[in-house]
């Protein structure tokens, strides 16, 4: 059981480049989400999804796009990378919309130069 898998683990981008962070879960979870964690800070919600075909914005959505075409996958797209997007990105999923804990991926450390 792989759980939540994020790829890549590390990435360096140049300003203006675009890329997609991948997130996949094999637990048939309805809820998936993306967070960013800046040094010494908590997790801020970027986007989330309550099921295939449904996405919504979190507190810091600007500069990011998501889609949820399948239950398993929830990719995060950086449209035009900026140094302010240097961060650690976590993908998380949970079984249902009710009060169940979220399972996290290992994180992607992104540096934009």
Partner 1 sequence: AQKITQTQPGMFVQEKEAVTLDCTYDTSDPSYGLFWYKQPSSGEMIFLIYQGSYDQQNATEGRYSLNFQKARKSANLVISASQLGDSAMYFCAMRPRASKIIFGSGTRLSIRP
The residue ranges that bind partner 1 (CB under 8 A) are 33, 35, 41-45, 48, 50, 56, 58-59, 88, 90, 92, 94, 97-104, 106-107
Instruction: Locate 54 and state its tokens.
Output: 């449904």
- Nearer to partner 1 among residue 16 and residue 97 (C-beta): 97
> Least distance in Å: CB of 95 to partner 1?
12
- Nearer to partner 1 among residue 71 and residue 94 (C-beta): 94
Instruction: Locate 76 and state its tokens.
Output: 């995060």
> Least distance in Å: CB of 49 to partner 1?
10
Tell me 79's DSSP state.
Answer: S
> Least distance in Å: CB of 101 to partner 1?
5
Q: Give the residues across from 37 on adjacent strands.
A: 43, 88
Instruction: Locate 49 and state its tokens.
Output: 């999804």
Closest among 37, 28, 11 to 91, alpha carbons compared? 37
- Nearer to partner 1 among residue 17 and residue 52 (C-beta): 52
Angle at 96 between CA 4 and CA 42, to 5 degrees: 60
Instruction: Locate 60 and state its tokens.
Output: 């810091």
> Least distance in Å: CB of 90 to partner 1?
7
């Amino acid at each position: 059981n792989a759980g939540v898998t994020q790829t890549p683990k590390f990435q360096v981008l140049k300003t203006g480049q675009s890329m997609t962070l991948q997130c996949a879960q094999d637990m048939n979870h309805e809820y998936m989400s993306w967070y960013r964690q800046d040094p010494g800070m908590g997790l801020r919600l970027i986007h989330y999804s309550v099921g295939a075909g449904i996405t919504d914005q979190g507190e810091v959505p600007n500069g990011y796009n998501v889609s949820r075409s399948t239950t398993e996958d929830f990719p995060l797209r950086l449209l035009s990378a900026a140094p302010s997007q240097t961060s650690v990105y976590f993908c998380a999923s949970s079984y249902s919309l009710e009060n169940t804990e979220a399972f996290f991926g290992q994180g992607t450390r992104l540096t934009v130069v």
